[in-house]
Structure 1
Amino acid sequence: TALDVSDDRQQKQVDVYTLKLCERALNIMNSLSNIQEQYQRLNLEEIRITEKLDLLMGQQCDIEAKLRNVSLLVPRLKSVKSDAKHLSGMIHFTCTLAENVSAKVRELDIAKGRVSECQKRVNDLLDLQLCREGPTVDSSLVLLHEAQAQLCKVLQQKFDEAVRDTDAASVERFFKIFPLLNMHEEGISKFGSYLAAQLKEKTQKSLRQADGESTSVRANVYFADTLTVLLESVARIIEIHQPLVETYYGPGRLLQVVEYLQPECDKQANQILVEFRRSRQLDKQIHLVSENDLEVGITEEQTRDLRMNEFEKLLQNKTGINRAVQELLGHYIMLERYFLVESVSKAVAMDTAVEGSLTSSIVDDVFFLVKKSIRRSLTSCSIDSICAVINNACTLLEEDYALVFQQQCKLGFPSGYLDLTQAYNAIQSSLQQGSIRLQPSDTEKTKANFLTALNNIETSIECIETLDKNVSHEIQINLGSTMMSRDQEKIKSCLAGFQTSKSKFRHLLDFGHEQLKSSAIKPRIKPWVDQLLSVNHVIDEEEFSCYEAQDPFIQELNLHLDGFMSGFKDSLTVNNYQTLIGTLTSQVAQQFEKVIFKTAFNRLGALQLDKEIRALITYLSTTTTWTIRDRFTRLTQIVTILNIETLAEISEYWGPNAGTVTWRLTPQEVRQILMLRTDFRADEIKRLKL
C-alpha cells in the first residue's frame, strides 16, 4: 500500500542520515571528551527523531481515510470527462453553424444596399431628364430685373416727392424700403442729404433772425445759442435715427449718415463763427478792449466752448469746426487774462481796511476774481482752456498780487513805541529837555499796514490751499469720467502751480516776520534781559529769602513781555501771533544765554536763576498753544549745570550717565559755565574729564 511505501522511504532516509552522522562522529571522535559530547548529541537527536516518528504515526489513520476517498472519486472523474467532451463537440458545431448563417446575412445586406443605391441613381436620372426637358429661367430672370429697375425708379421718385413735400413720415417709410431692394448705399445717401438740408435750413433761419434779436434778453449770447441749437440738432438727429438706421441697414451704417451731416455741420458752424466775429467786431475788440463789455464777450465765448466740447464728446473725433474753435479759444484766453489783470489792478487800487477784520479787502476781492475766472473756464470743459486760465491765475498771484505785499514788507516795521512804558519814558525824557515830540500818526498807520500785510499773506496761503482743493474737486466732478491719461497729466501739472504760489507766499511771510523781528523784537528784548546783569546772584540765605518774597527781575521782565505781546494780539491772525511768540521766545532764550555768561553765581544764586527761568517758561507757555520748551533746551541745561553742588556731581548728568538726555552744549561750554560759579576752583574745573 501507499503507507508501506512511505514507511520504506522514511526508513531509507533515516538510515542514510544515520550513516552520515556516524561518519561525522568518527571524524571528530579523537578524544574521550569529544566522544562523550557526541554521544549526548546523538541522544538528543534520537529523542527528536522519535518524537517526529510518533507524530507521523499518529496521522496515519487520517492519511489512509483521505486516500480511500480519493480512490472512490476516480470512476466519477471518468464520467465527467466524457460529458465535457460531448459538450465541447456541441459548442463547436453550434459555432460553425452560426458563422455560416451570419456570413450569408452580411452578403444579403451588401446586396440590398447596392440595389437601393442603384434605385436612387435611377430616380435622380429621371428627375434630371424631366428638368432638362422643362422651360428655361432666362426669360423669368429678364422679367425680374426689369421689375426691380422699375421698382427702384418708383421708390426714388416717391422718396424725392416726400422730401419736397416735407412729409417726414413718408420719408422714413420709403427709407426703410431701400435695404429690402439691396440699395443700402442709395438709401443712406438720400437720407443723409435730406437730414443735411434740414440742418442747413434751420441754421440759416436762425442767422437771419440775428439782427432782430439785438434787444432781447439773450442778445449777448445769441451766437452761442445759435451754435448750441446747431450742435444739439445734430446730436438729436443722431440720437433719434440711430435705432432706425441700425435696425433696417445694420450696425455701423449710422457712421455713413454722420459723414453726410458733419460737413454740413462744419459749414454752418463756420458761418456762425464768421457772423459772430463780424457782428461782435472781435478782431477790433482784441486791440480796443472795453472793460464794460469784456465780461460779456468772455461769457459768450465760454458758452460756445462748452457747447463745442459737448459736441466733441458725442462724436468722439475732431472735425473741421475745431480749427475755428481753437482760434477763438486763443482770443478767449487773451480776454480772460486781460479781464483778470485789470480786475486785480482795480482791487489793489481800491484796497481798504475792513472794519472788524484783520485783513484788508484785497484778499477777498482778488480770490473772488480768481475763483470766478477759473470756474468759468471749468464750465467750458476744455482742458487747454482750463490749464491756460489756471496758469494765468498762478502767475498773477505770484507776480502782481504778491508784489503788493512784498513792497509793504520791504518798508519794514517802524521802530516806534510798542508799549506804554516806552511811551512814558520817552515823554518824561522830552519834558526834561523842555519839549514834547509826539509820535506822528503816519508811524501808526505804517505799523497797521505792515501787520495787515502779514495777515493778508497768511490768509492768502489759506485761500490758495482752499482754491487748490476746490478746483481739483470740481475738475473731478465735471471732467473726471471723460479725461484721458494725457489730460490728467496736464491738469496735475497745472494744479502744481498752486503749490508753487503757496511756497512763494510762505517765503514772503517768513521775510515779513524777519523784518518784524529785526525792527520790533530784537531792540526790545536786549535791554529787558540785560537788567539781569544788575541783579546780584552771589547771595546768602537772607538775600535769597528776600528774592523769594519779591523778585527783582523776572516779574518786571514778564510785565514787559506781556505789554509787548498785548500790542500785537488783537492785530495779528492766530497763526501770525503764534509765530510772533515763537520768535520772541527764541530771542529771549538767546539773550538770556549771553547775559548768563556775563554773570557770576554761587549755589544760592544758581537756585535763584533756576526759579527765574522756570517762572519765565511758565509765563510764556500760557501765552501760546504751541510748545516752547524746546526753545529753552540749551538754557535749562545751562541752569542744570550751574545748580550742581559739587564738581563730582557733573558725572551724574554728563557722559555715559546722561541717559536719554541729548545735550546741546559742548564740553568747552560746560567748563565755561562751571567757571561762572564762584565757589568752584578753576584748576579743578580744568581737570574734569568731559
Structure 2
Amino acid sequence: MAKANAAVNGHADQLPSPPTDQQPDIFNARSIAEIKATLSRLHEQEAAVTARLDALVASQKDFSRELGRLDLLRAHLGSQASTTRAISHGMLSSAAETAERLSSAVRRLDMEQERVKATLDMVEQVAELKACVLGVTGSMEGPQDWETAASYLNRASKIPPEVVQGEFAERIVPTAEVPDPPSVTLNNASESLCGLFLREFDRAVKESNDAKITRFFKLFPLIGKSEVGLDVYGRYVCQGVAARARSNLNAGTGGAQSQDTFFYANALTRLFEHIAQIIDGHGGLVERHYGTGKMTRVIQRLQVEADVQGGIIIDTWSDERRIDRKLVDIKSYAFTFLVQSFLPGQRSSSTPRTGSPGHREPTAEEEGVDMKEIDANLNELSIMLGRWSLYARFVGDKCQPADADPEGPLVLPQFLLESSLAQKINNRLIGPFNAMTTFFVRRSVEKAFQLDESPSGLTLNPHKPLHSEPPHITSAVDDIMYIVKKIVQQSIATSQRAVVTNVIPTLSRVLGSDFIGMIQRKMRDEYYPKPPVPGAQPPEATVIAFLVLINNLDVAVDYVRRIVREHVEKGEDDPNSLEALFPLSDDAAVTRQALQSLQSSFESKVNDLLSDGIQVVFNNVVKNRLRPILADAFRDIDYQPRDHGATATHRAYDSAEEEDDSDEARGGELVRARFTAAWTELLLPISRILTANAFDRLLGVTVASLSRLLEKRLWSYHGRVNALGAIRLERDVSGIASAAVDVGSGAGRYRHREAFARCTQITTVMAMDEDEWEDVQRGGETAQVVDKLRAEERARARAMVSD
C-alpha cells in the first residue's frame, strides 16, 4: 500500500502545472504562430495527463493486492481478539480469584506466626524477669552475693519496660515470697544495692583498699546507677587531687621554697600532671565498665576540683609576688629617658654621655620597678600559661566525641572554657602577662639606649686596621633583639591566642616607635654628617657614628627576619611548630600572620629610614667627590690622536703607561687606573664599616649618580673624538664601569654595571664601523646592542666622531 501511494505521488509530481493567466489562450490568439504555440502546449499537457492516467491504471493492481492483505490481517486480528476475551473471562478470572485467596491466607498465616512469636517472646521475657526477680531476692537475702544480685538486675534491665510493667508479668511473676509487682521489686533492690555499694565504696576509700574500690565501682552500672558511680568515683579521685595539691602548696608557702622563681609554676604543673595521670590511668576502667564517653563525666568532676586548687595556687602566687602592686607601678612608670630623648633640642653636643656620672637617668629600680623581678614573673607566667594550654589540649582530646574528625581542628569542651579556672587564667595570668610584657619590652629598649656603647677602633683611614669585628653596630641592637627573641619565644610558648595577638602587635609598635624612633633622632640630631663649611667633608667621627647607626637598622632587620623565620618555617611534624602549639581552630594561622606582620611592618619602617640615611651619606660624604674624580681620571686625555699617536699628550699617556707597573697601566688604561685609585680611596673606607647590604644600597645610589655625570661628560666630547679616539674612549668607559662596581666585598655587585648601560652604548655607537651603523639604522640585530638609546640619541652619538 505504501509503495502504491509513493508511486502515485511520484507520477503526480511529474504532471505539468495547470494553465495560468500568463499562459497563451487559444481563444485570444491573434496570429497563427500563437495558435500553433497554444496547440503545442495543449498537446504536451494532454500527453502528461495521459501518462498520469496510465500510471494510475497500472498501479491499481498493487492497490488491490495491498487492500486484500489488509482484509486478511483484519480477519486474523478479529479471531485473536475473540480468543483473548475468552481466556480473560474464562481461565484468568478464576486463577486471579484463586491467587487472591492464597495471598490472603498467607498474610493471615504470617500475622498469626508473628503473634505467636511475640507471645512466645513475651513469655520468655516474663520467665526471664521472674528468674531475675527471684535471683536478686535470693542473692540479697541469703549469701549476700552482691555481684550476682547486680548481674540479675543488669539482666532485668535488658527486658523491655512494657513487659516489666505489663499485666501479664504482674500476674505471673509475684510469688508468696516476693508478692510485689516486678517493677517495684527491681526498683527496691536497685536502691537498696546502690546504698549498700555507696557505703562499701566509702569504707574502702577510708581503708585505702584499692581492690574493694574497684570491685564496688564496677557494680554501679550493673544496677542502673552509672551516674551515681561516676559521681562517687569522681569525688574519690578529687580527694586525692586536693590532698596532693595542698601538700605541694603547703610545702613551700611562706618559706624559702616559695621564693623559688618557678615554685608556683611547678605547683600548677604538678596539679595538671596529677589530673592527667588520673584521666589516663582510670579512663580505661571507666570506659570498659560504663561505656564509651563516660569518662567525660569524671573529667568534669575533676575540673571542678582543678578550679578550686588551681585558683588557690594562682591567688597565692599573685599575693606572694605582689602582682597587683607591680601592675600599678609599671602603669605609672614614666619612661623618662625615652620621653626626654624625643624632645626637641636634645643634642649630643650639649648633653653629656648618658653613662657618665654627671648625667645619669633614674633607673626603673629606683622608681619602684625591679626589672629582674618582672623578668622572673614573665618567665613564671609563660610556664603557667604553657602548662594550662597543654592541659586544656589534653582534656579536649580526651573529651572528643567518638564521631569527631581526627584530622579536624581540636575543639575544647564547653565545661572547660566556662570553668572558673579558665576565667582566672584569663584575668590573673594573661592580663598581667600582656601588661608586663609591654612594659618589659619598652623598658628594655630604654635601658639598652641608656647603656648603649659604640664600637671602638673604627677609622676611615684605609691604611689603618679596624679593631672591632663586623658587623659594626652599637650594643643596643644586640640587647634589644635578644629581648625581642625572648619575648616572641615566651609568647608562642604560652600557646595562647590572646597572648600572641596582644604581645606581637605591641612588640611591633614599640620597635617602630621607640627603637626606630630613637635611631632616627640620633641620626637627625646627634650624628648628622654635616660639613663644617660648604664643600668640605664632615668630621670623621660623625660620619663613622652615622654609618654605625645605618648598620644598626640593617642588622636589626636581619635579626627580626631570622626570629620570625625560626617560628614560621617549622614543618607541621615539628613538635614546636605553630600547628603543634596552636591546634585550636585557626590559631596557628593567626599566629603566623601576626609574626609576618611584625616582620613586614618593621622592615617597611626601617627601609624608609635606611633609604633616607643612605641618601644623606651620599649627599654629604660622596656626592661632592664624584665630579673631581671623573675630571682627574680624564685629565690631559685627548681622543683625537693621529694615526701614529705622535701628539705630546699621547706621548705623556704612553710614558705614564710605561712608568706604571700595574697590569692595567701596561694595557694602556690610564683613565681606569686614575679612576680606580680615587674611587677606592672614596668608597673603601665606607665599605669597611657599613654592612654588605647597606653598602650595596649606597653603591647603587652612587653608581647611578656617577653614570649620569659620565654621560654628560661623554656628550661634551662632541667634535673632539676621531675614530681611533672613539675606540679608546669606549675602552676607558668600560674600564670605569668595571672599576666602579669592583669595590668592597659582597655578591651581586655586578648588577650595578647596568647603570652604565647608556654610557657604554654611546661609546659603542661612536666606535661602530659603517656596516654595523647601517644595521642599527635599519633596526637589525645590532640595534639591540644599543637599545637604551633613542634614535635621535644614537644619531647624536654617531655625529660626535669627527673625520
1:464 aligns with 2:464: no
**Aligned-pair distance for 1:635?**
0.6
| Aligned-partner Cα distance in 1 for 2:192–2:216 | 15
Superposed, which structure 2 residues align to 1:419-458 within 5 Å? Answer: 443-458=539-554
**Aligned-pair distance for 1:242?**
0.9
Taking structure 1 as reference, are residues 449 and 149 closer, same or farther at Cα in structure 2, changes over 3 Å only? closer
Does the residue aligned with 2:219 lie in a helix, a strand or coil? helix
| Aligned-partner Cα distance in 2 for 1:484–1:199 | 27
Which of 745, 761, 764 in structure 2 is aligned with 1:640? 764
Q: In the alignment, what sits opposite 1:598?
A: 716
Which of 579, 583, 586 in structure 2 is aligned with 1:480? 579
| Aligned-partner Cα distance in 2 for 1:652–1:150 | 114
Query: Does structure 2 retain, via aligned residues, the 8 Å contact 1:227–1:272?
Result: yes
Which of 488, 495, 516 in structure 2 is aligned with 1:381? 495
Which of 138, 141, 144 in structure 1 is aligned with 2:175? 138
Structure 1: 5+ residue stretches without partners? 1-116, 427-438, 680-690
**Aligned-pair distance for 1:469?**
0.9
| Aligned-partner Cα distance in 2 for 1:674–1:614 | 18
More divergent stretch after superposition (408-417 vs 667-676): 408-417
Please report the TM-score for the alignment, with normalisation by the length of structure 1. Answer: 0.70
Supply the AA of the counterpart residue of 2:681: G
Q: In the alignment, what sits opposite 1:556?
A: 674
| Aligned-partner Cα distance in 2 for 1:255–1:618 | 76
Supply the AA of the counterpart residue of 2:707: A
Taking structure 1 as reference, are residues 618 and 296 closer, same or farther at Cα in structure 2, changes over 3 Å only? closer
Does the residue aligned with 2:789 lie in a helix, a strand or coil? coil
Taking structure 1 as reference, are residues 397 and 147 closer, same or farther at Cα in structure 2, changes over 3 Å only? closer
Superposed CA offset, 1:53-111 (max 9, x none): xxxxxxxxxxxxxxxxxxxxxxxxxxxxxxxxxxxxxxxxxxxxxxxxxxxxxxxxxxx
Query: Does structure 2 retain, via aligned residues, the 8 Å contact 1:159–1:174?
Result: yes
Does the residue aligned with 2:257 lie in a helix, a strand or coil? coil
**Aligned-pair distance for 1:295?**
0.9
More divergent stretch after superposition (326-335 vs 548-557): 548-557
Query: Does structure 1 retain, via aligned residues, the 8 Å contact 2:204–2:213?
Result: yes
Superposed CA offset, 1:323-378 (max 9, x none): 11111201101101211111121112222234333222222211111111111222
Supply the AA of the counterpart residue of 1:595: R
Query: Does structure 1 retain, via aligned residues, the 8 Å contact 2:275–2:302?
Result: yes
| Aligned-partner Cα distance in 2 for 1:468–1:609 | 51
Structure (1 or 2) with the greater helix fraction: 1
Supply the AA of the counterpart residue of 1:636: T
Which of 653, 656, 661 in structure 1 is aligned with 2:779? 656
Taking structure 1 as reference, are residues 391 and 513 closer, same or farther at Cα in structure 2, changes over 3 Å only? same
Query: Does structure 2 retain, via aligned residues, the 8 Å contact 1:306–1:381?
Result: yes
Q: In the alignment, what sits opposite 2:441?
A: 340
Supply the AA of the counterpart residue of 2:763: V
Q: In the alignment, what sits opposite 2:236?
A: 194
Taking structure 1 as reference, are residues 468 and 416 closer, same or farther at Cα in structure 2, changes over 3 Å only? farther
| Aligned-partner Cα distance in 2 for 1:649–1:260 | 93
1:291 aligns with 2:371: yes
1:500 aligns with 2:606: no
Q: In the alignment, what sits opposite 2:158?
A: none
1:356 aligns with 2:462: no
Query: Does structure 1 retain, via aligned residues, the 8 Å contact 2:641–2:650?
Result: no
Q: In the alignment, what sits opposite 1:239?
A: 280
Q: In the alignment, what sits opposite 2:39?
A: none
Superposed, which structure 2 residues align to 1:103-142 within 5 Å? Answer: 137-142=174-179
Superposed CA offset, 1:285-324 (max 9, x none): 1012432311111122112111211111122222411111
Supply the AA of the counterpart residue of 2:646: E
More divergent stretch after superposition (177-186 vs 340-349): 177-186
Query: Does structure 2 retain, via aligned residues, the 8 Å contact 1:224–1:304?
Result: yes
More divergent stretch after superposition (534-543 vs 337-346): 534-543
Taking structure 1 as reference, are residues 445 and 259 closer, same or farther at Cα in structure 2, changes over 3 Å only? same
Taking structure 1 as reference, are residues 381 and 463 closer, same or farther at Cα in structure 2, changes over 3 Å only? same
Structure 2: 5+ residue stretches without partners? 1-112, 125-129, 131-167, 330-368, 397-412, 456-467, 658-669
1:529 aligns with 2:630: yes
1:611 aligns with 2:724: no
Which of 569, 592, 612 in structure 1 is aligned with 2:687? 569
Superposed, which structure 2 residues align to 1:661-676 within 5 Å? Answer: 661-676=785-800
**Aligned-pair distance for 1:244?**
1.3
Taking structure 1 as reference, are residues 264 and 668 closer, same or farther at Cα in structure 2, changes over 3 Å only? same
Supply the AA of the counterpart residue of 2:684: S
Taking structure 1 as reference, are residues 645 and 147 closer, same or farther at Cα in structure 2, changes over 3 Å only? closer
| Aligned-partner Cα distance in 2 for 1:553–1:402 | 43
Superposed CA offset, 1:615-655 (max 9, x none): 32343354365214322111112112333566x87333334
| Aligned-partner Cα distance in 2 for 1:142–1:185 | 30
| Aligned-partner Cα distance in 2 for 1:149–1:612 | 110
Superposed CA offset, 1:468-513 (max 9, x none): 1112246953242352452132113202221221232223222221
Q: In the alignment, what sits opposite 1:515?
A: 616
Taking structure 1 as reference, are residues 151 and 630 closer, same or farther at Cα in structure 2, changes over 3 Å only? closer
Taking structure 1 as reference, are residues 148 and 506 closer, same or farther at Cα in structure 2, changes over 3 Å only? closer
Q: In the alignment, what sits opposite 2:307?
A: 266
Does the residue aligned with 1:623 lie in a helix, a strand or coil? coil
Supply the AA of the counterpart residue of 1:635: C
| Aligned-partner Cα distance in 1 for 2:792–2:241 | 93
Q: In the alignment, what sits opposite 1:171?
A: 213
Query: Does structure 2 retain, via aligned residues, the 8 Å contact 1:585–1:620?
Result: yes
Aligned residues: 530
More divergent stretch after superposition (307-316 vs 660-669): 660-669
RMSD over equivalenced CA pairs, Å? 3.4
Q: In the alignment, what sits opposite 2:54?
A: none
Does the residue aligned with 2:583 lie in a helix, a strand or coil? coil
Taking structure 1 as reference, are residues 203 and 475 closer, same or farther at Cα in structure 2, changes over 3 Å only? farther
Query: Does structure 1 retain, via aligned residues, the 8 Å contact 2:672–2:739?
Result: no
Query: Does structure 2 retain, via aligned residues, the 8 Å contact 1:408–1:449?
Result: no
Q: Percent sequence identity over matched residues?
A: 22
Supply the AA of the counterpart residue of 1:571: I
Supply the AA of the counterpart residue of 1:388: N
Taking structure 1 as reference, are residues 655 and 459 closer, same or farther at Cα in structure 2, changes over 3 Å only? farther
Does the residue aligned with 1:315 lie in a helix, a strand or coil? helix
Does the residue aligned with 1:256 lie in a helix, a strand or coil? helix
Taking structure 1 as reference, are residues 664 and 504 closer, same or farther at Cα in structure 2, changes over 3 Å only? same
Q: In the alignment, what sits opposite 1:366?
A: 480
Q: In the alignment, what sits opposite 1:112?
A: none
| Aligned-partner Cα distance in 1 for 2:548–2:242 | 61
1:248 aligns with 2:289: yes
Taking structure 1 as reference, are residues 286 and 613 closer, same or farther at Cα in structure 2, changes over 3 Å only? same
Which of 705, 710, 726 in structure 2 is aligned with 1:587? 705
Does the residue aligned with 1:201 lie in a helix, a strand or coil? helix
Query: Does structure 2 retain, via aligned residues, the 8 Å contact 1:533–1:598?
Result: no
| Aligned-partner Cα distance in 1 for 2:756–2:707 | 6
Does the residue aligned with 2:784 lie in a helix, a strand or coil? coil
| Aligned-partner Cα distance in 2 for 1:136–1:474 | 71
